[in-house]
Amino acid sequence: MEKYIIHGGVRLEGSVKISGSKNAALPIFAATLLTDEEVILKNVPQLSDTQTMTLLLRSLGKKVSWDTGSPGRVIIQPELKAGLVVNTKASYEIVKRMRASICVLGPLLTRYSKAEVSLPGGCAFGPRPVDLHISGLRALGADVKLIHGNIVAEAKGLLKNSATGLRRLRGGHVPVMQGRISSVLATDNILSAAVLAEGETCIENAAREPETEDLVNFLKHIGAEITQEIEDPHKEDLFHEGKSISIQRLRVKGVSKLHGGEYTIIPDRIEAGSFMSFAAITGGKLLIQNCEPKHLHAVIQIFEELGLSIQQKSSNELLVKTAGKRLKRLKRLKGIEVSTGPYPLFPTDMQALLMAVAVLAEGDTILEESIYSSRFNHVGELERLGASITLEGNKAYIHGVSALEGARVMASDLRAGAALVAASLAASGKSELRRVYHIKRGYENLLGKLKKLGAKIVLEDG
Ligand code: UD1
């Protein structure tokens, strides 16, 4: 099995180009099932999750071609000209590898009147229910059952789609996320189903993450009718009491057919945030290019509190540097207190990466995980490198240490793996990081990008 060997203590310096967003690309790939016309996607990151999604779409009757002459350009066409689908069952073999496979549920159901998707796997950091996906699709008139570990859904409405002759879902009020944490992929599924449903759908407390916004923009681009309404935060039952996050309602007017088009995926904000962590922890200086600064507000704010200097150099470039030279300067960083939350709050996908940096900050840091209360698999591994962390429920108390030492560690999920890369880059001596397949799920050419910045990191077998 592949592992990274990292010799830490090198200050990273140079420029790094951020790839397209994995979490935006996956639901958009799935949404191409909604049309029989050709879709060309650009800025698609080449990583194992997008490869898995490619396999999944191919198994469902799409021809997916990665343009070898133009990296990140993917052409998606129907296999069968008549608009027939090879099958509407997403197999366990593919779905178990990646949770985002569940994104094909809504598109298949609304386009072909039925769908069967195995309950998804993905990063294992505690319970990850799918009740919101199911209740949301039921609100659109679908009959949804769980049979032998599969979600089996069927459109039961009497109305037929004039373009396909198949039964349609019916638009309706979808209040399932009201008063709860809005779910990103459930929003994506319900939205993708609603665009071809009969009549109007109103999704309350829809996710506001930039990746869902990208799906909205893609769907509009291929002919969907969607309007976004932002609610005054004080009128609604808020998940984050006292925090002024506004709530989004999505209104969808169903159409009978969507067309093709060419669309560019947004930059990956979590990859950009990861490189901020790598800069912070190595006392480095990085020009982060091809990023979208406005998606990174909360992350920038917290890293600035940690003592990083972050300057916007152009509309898509950030210059990130620490106040002084090398790791010792991290001792000057102040202790902080952060809670993860739905966008625009600090993202849960950055929690482990922030923790790695906080491990070397002066004083104590308190990190609260509000989205996945047990997403702390990285804690034990960071401790192997010399971190001092106490866990109490969904809070981690990080007691800053002055140095880390290389050790043998293991990635337990994607972002935990990235956090261990960060910590190993700062640790003295050699670290061995196993199970890098988790990291390869979500980072395009991480090794190459880090090497270009001076990191001493190699991939080995064994
Ligand atoms: C997406 C991201 C993941 C990120 C997460 C939160 C993708 C491919 N993955 O995952 O990287 O960490 O958003 O920003 O985009 N929940 C329910 N019932 C459901 C669905 C979710 O209770 O049916 C809960 C979850 O347990 C969690 C919260 O809702 O507490 C948010 O999870 P959700 O937004 O659904 O995460 P994903 O969309 O799976």
DSSP states along 223-284: T-EEEEEEEPGGGS--SSTT----EEEEEEE--S----EEEEPPB-HHHHHHHHHHHHHHT-
**Model confidence band, residue 244 (pLDDT cutoffs 50, 70, 90):** low
- Is the CB of residue 211 below 6 angstroms from any atom belonging to ligand 1? yes
Whether 168 shows a pLDDT value over 80: the answer reads: yes
Structure-token match 């109305």, residue found: 159
Per the annotation, the verdict on 123 as an active-site residue is yes
Q: What is the pLDDT of residues 14-52, one digit of tens each?
A: 999 999 999 999 999 999 999 999 999 999 999 999 999
Could you tell me if 35 and 260 are in contact, meaning their C-beta atoms sit under 8 angstroms apart? yes
Mutate to test the pocket of ligand 1, among 47, 128, 266 (most ligand atoms within 8 A of CB): 128
Q: Which of 352, 367, 372, 370 is nearest to 398 (CA)?
A: 367
CA 185 to ligand 1 center in whole angstroms? 6
Could you tell me if 74 and 65 are in contact, meaning their C-beta atoms sit under 8 angstroms apart? yes
Ligand 1 atom closest to residue 100's alpha carbon, by position in its atom list:
8
Among 25-39, 318-332, 357-371, whose mean pLDDT is lowest?
318-332
Indicate the Cα dihedral angle 448, 453, 455, 456, nearest 10°.
Answer: 60
Whether 141 shows a pLDDT value over 60: the answer reads: yes
- Is the CB of residue 202 below 6 angstroms from any atom belonging to ligand 1? no
- Is the CB of residue 26 below 6 angstroms from any atom belonging to ligand 1? yes
Environment class of 321 (CB within 10 Å of its CB; exposed 0-12, middle 13-18, buried 19+): middle
Atom 29 (ligand 1) nearest CA: 183
Domain spans of the chain, in order of start: 2-18+269-461, 22-264
Summarize the confidence of residues 313-335 as an average pLDDT: 66
Give me the amino acid identity at 48: S
Catalytic: which of 103, 123, 202, 291? Answer: 123
Q: What is the pLDDT of residues 388-437, one digit of tens each?
A: 999 999 999 999 898 999 999 999 999 999 999 999 999 999 999 999 99
Could you tell me if 75 and 300 are in contact, meaning their C-beta atoms sit under 8 angstroms apart? no
**Model confidence band, residue 233 (pLDDT cutoffs 50, 70, 90):** low
Q: What is the pLDDT of residues 210-228, one digit of tens each?
A: 999 999 999 999 999 999 9
Whether 324 shows a pLDDT value over 80: the answer reads: no
Q: What is the pLDDT of residues 72-91, one digit of tens each?
A: 999 999 886 655 666 899 98
Ligand 1 atom closest to residue 133's alpha carbon, by position in its atom list:
23
**Model confidence band, residue 373 (pLDDT cutoffs 50, 70, 90):** confident
Q: How many CB atoms lie within 10 A of CB 391?
A: 13
Q: In this structure, what token pair is assigned to residue 458?
A: 């190699």
- What percent of the chain clears pLDDT 90, i.e. is strictly above it? 77
CA atoms 328, 329, 334, 337: torsion sign: negative
Q: How many CB atoms lie within 10 A of CB 462?
A: 7
Q: In this structure, what token pair is assigned to residue 58?
A: 């191919």
Ligand 1 atom closest to residue 342's alpha carbon, by position in its atom list:
14
Summarize the confidence of residues 179-207 as an average pLDDT: 96
Cis peptide before 344 (omega within 30 of 0): yes
Fold of 2-18+269-461: UDP-n-acetylglucosamine1-carboxyvinyl-transferase; Chain (3.65.10)
Q: Can you give the pLDDT at residue 236?
A: 45
Strands 114-118 and 89-90: parallel
Q: Can you give the pLDDT at residue 326?
A: 35
DSSP state of 198: B
Give me the amino acid identity at 332: R
- Is the CB of residue 374 below 6 angstroms from any atom belonging to ligand 1? no
Could you tell me if 288 and 272 are in contact, meaning their C-beta atoms sit under 8 angstroms apart? yes
Distance CA 424, CA 433 (A): 8
Fold of 22-264: UDP-n-acetylglucosamine1-carboxyvinyl-transferase; Chain (3.65.10)
Radius of gyration of the chain (CA): 22
Atom 33 (ligand 1) nearest CA: 183
Contacts of 81 (CB under 8 A, 6+ apart): none
**Model confidence band, residue 127 (pLDDT cutoffs 50, 70, 90):** low
**Cα 80–Cα 253–Cα 151 angle in degrees, nearest 5:** 55
Structure-token match 């952060």, residue found: 338
